[in-house]
Amino acid sequence: MRSARITATGCAVPGRSLPNAYFDELLGQPVSDWLFTHTGIEHRFHLEDGQVTSDLATEAGRQALARAGRSPDDVDLIILATDTPDQLSPATAVVVQHKLGAARAVAFDVNCACAGFVTALETATKFVQADARVRTVLVIGAYGMSRFLDWTDKTTCTLFADGAGAVVLEAGDDAGWLGSQLFTDGSYWDALGIYRGGVASPTRPGDEPPVVKFVRKFPASYNVEHWPRLLRAVSGQTGVPLSEVKLFVFTQLNLRVIEAVMAALEQPMARAHWVMNKWGYTGSACIPMALHDAVEAGRLAPGDVVAFCASGGGVSMAASFFRWTAGGRA
């Protein structure tokens, strides 16, 4: 069976910069210190006027291809993970295919909310393993949640940010993908999301625009309970002890949760990488953005094992182990 290997990363950050202090003035109350103390978020970036999700996805994808030494003509498949598409239909991935000029590529979206990128990476891996025609896949996570914010709701407008991250996944002989575990708990489908604009609640002229909102609370310990379980399952599946994982990359919503999970795993916090301090919470884009940042910082070398672990509304979860490899393809 052919292996699927990550050979390059890319990242895109929009131009509108918003520090925590912006929300002190906007909301008329001090939230800066609370945000940093409780989440680790200090800064975030939002889409500029005229920018859309596909613009960020295209930029990140183009950068990843360039770093892999590939052209858009080399791409066989584009999988875009997003729950903030340019429009309900058609898929935003087809827009990205057009903007990139990747005319050969098949393209589709994956929506598992903030677990979308790791799920898309798993989907791409299976394509590479099962279909000899699929040799180069562009997997992108992109987020434009600033367009769905209620600017009077401090529980959402202070957290969500925009961005995109991408990886080039290629067929090769060297082991890349090692194993994975997916999980869904649909009992929380109505806890967090954008609940207007679809078939169940279509918008009509004069309606307020749809916004993201917390409808009911998740258990505070949900990720701390389930992330270690998923990672231990992948460790058992692959035979790679958690102590041999060089880098852990989690959903970037809350640094305190990541600290608690690393403690539960009995692993040093130095092996986790986080970017919410400078980019805010970028949902389905946060894991590839964090991976790109770690690569830029020189935190991975060939042969290292990196673990991804993600949560998204629904609840959807996904975890996977990859061995970091150099470029080239079979």
Q: What is the CATH number of the domain that holds 136?
A: 3.40.47.10
pLDDT at residue 328 greater than cutoff 60:
no
Q: Which domain holds residue 85?
A: 1-330
Structure tokens at 320: 């996977």
Strand residue runs (E) in the chain:
3-12, 16-19, 43-46, 77-81, 106-110, 136-144, 162-172, 177-188, 192-194, 212-214, 245-250, 272-273, 305-312, 314-323
The confidence score (pLDDT) of residue 284 equals 98
Q: How many CB atoms lie within 10 A of CB 217?
A: 10
Calculate the average pLDDT of the chain. Answer: 95
Average pLDDT over residues 152-173: 96
pLDDT at residue 163 greater than cutoff 80:
yes
Quick: pLDDT tens for 33-52: 999 999 999 999 999 999 99
* Tally of domains in the chain: 1
Structure tokens at 235: 């460790």
The confidence score (pLDDT) of residue 329 equals 40
Average pLDDT over residues 195-212: 93
Residue 219 pLDDT grade (very low, low, confident, very high; cuts 50, 70, 90): confident
Average pLDDT over residues 108-122: 98
Q: What is the C-alpha radius of gyration for the chain, rounded to an integer number of angstroms?
A: 19
Average pLDDT over residues 221-233: 97
The confidence score (pLDDT) of residue 174 equals 83
The answer to whether 117 touches 176, Cβ cutoff 8 Å, is: no
